[in-house]
């Protein structure tokens, strides 16, 4: 039977993770947060004191790196080499370095293989930057979620604040704009909608409204 794959891509802070997680729960599919994988690799790079631009060192590090995503009641737990790093991967330090690490071909190659394996084994809702274009090009349903930069920065600001992090709105906005620019401009698997993706601008929509919109567009089609 046909694989059940739903790809959700878009820029930082478009609400992809929350929406993908809720959608997966509704459908009974596995939720795969590919950004969490790039963040986990980046956390290890920083912990080991490596330069996030050093391709050779990072490629070597990867041969001894394992990242697992474990479904839990409160979303996904992210396990790096046996250690739960679900919170540690969300710090501003990781956010600021991740796009540089995500540009490295060896990193993308390894994570793409893991992500495809999950999509071939389970019905998935997978979110990221290159899911519809590169990781799951055959996915039956592809969505590209966007929102204005201001709204995305505001959402991320409130989310971080609720978790006890303090980063100014202005610096968050700047960081997200830079990250989007790097993600869209890179050579391998840049951030862009797949040709057959449905683009949804979520500016002014609540999480519930977006989830309902996606469910409506999926129709009885899952």
Binding site for ligand C5P (CB under 6 A): 12, 34-35, 38-39, 98-99, 102, 128-131, 179, 183
φ and ψ at 124, to 5 degrees?
A: -130, 150
Least Å distance, CB 145 to ligand C5P, is: 11
For residues 35 and 123, which CB has a smaller minimum distance to ligand C5P in the complex? 35
For residues 151 and 183, which CB has a smaller minimum distance to ligand C5P in the complex? 183
Least Å distance, CB 131 to ligand C5P, is: 6
Other beta carbons less than 10 A from residue 190's beta carbon: 15
Chain centroid, CA 173 distance in Å: 18
Least Å distance, CB 55 to ligand C5P, is: 15
For residues 27 and 76, which CB has a smaller minimum distance to ligand C5P in the complex? 76
For residues 119 and 128, which CB has a smaller minimum distance to ligand C5P in the complex? 128
Least Å distance, CB 98 to ligand C5P, is: 4
Q: Which two tokens stand for residue 71?
A: 């479904």
Least Å distance, CB 166 to ligand C5P, is: 19
Across-strand partners of 76?
71
Question: Long-range pairs for 182-185 at CB < 8 Å and ≥24 separation?
Answer: 182/99, 182/100, 182/103, 183/11, 183/12, 183/99, 183/102, 183/129, 184/11
For residues 129 and 142, which CB has a smaller minimum distance to ligand C5P in the complex? 129
Query: Do residues 2 and 123 touch, judged by C-beta distance below 8 A?
Result: no
Chain centroid, CA 42 distance in Å: 13
Across-strand partners of 84?
79
Least Å distance, CB 1 to ligand C5P, is: 26
For residues 158 and 220, which CB has a smaller minimum distance to ligand C5P in the complex? 158
b/e map of 160-172 (b: 16 or more CB within 10 Å)? beeeeeeeeeeeb
């Amino acid at each position: 039977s046909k694989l059940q794959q739903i790809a959700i891509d878009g820029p930082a802070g478009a609400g992809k993770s929350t929406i993908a997680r809720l959608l997966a729960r509704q459908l009974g599919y596995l939720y795969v947060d590919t950004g969490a994988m790039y963040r986990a690799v980046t956390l290890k790079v920083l912990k080991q004191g490596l330069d996030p631009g050093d391709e050779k060192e990072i490629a070597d590090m990867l041969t001894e790196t394992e990242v697992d995503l474990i479904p839990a009641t409160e979303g996904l737990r992210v396990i790096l080499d046996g250690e739960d790093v679900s919170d540690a991967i969300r710090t501003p330090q990781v956010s600021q370095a991740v796009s540089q690490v995500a540009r490295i071909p060896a990193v993308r190659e390894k994570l793409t293989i893991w992500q495809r394996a999950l999509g071939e084994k389970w019905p998935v809702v997978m979110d990221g930057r290159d899911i519809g274009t590169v990781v799951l090009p055959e996915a039956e349903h592809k969505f590209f979620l966007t929102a204005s930069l201001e709204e995305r920065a505001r959402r991320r600001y409130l989310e971080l604040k609720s978790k006890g992090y303090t980063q100014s709105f202005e610096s968050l906005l700047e960081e997200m704009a830079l990250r989007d620019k790097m993600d869209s401009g890179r050579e391998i698997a840049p951030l862009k909608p797949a040709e057959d993706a449905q683009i949804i601008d979520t500016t002014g929509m609540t999480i519930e409204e977006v989830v309902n919109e996606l469910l409506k567009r999926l129709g009885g089609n899952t």
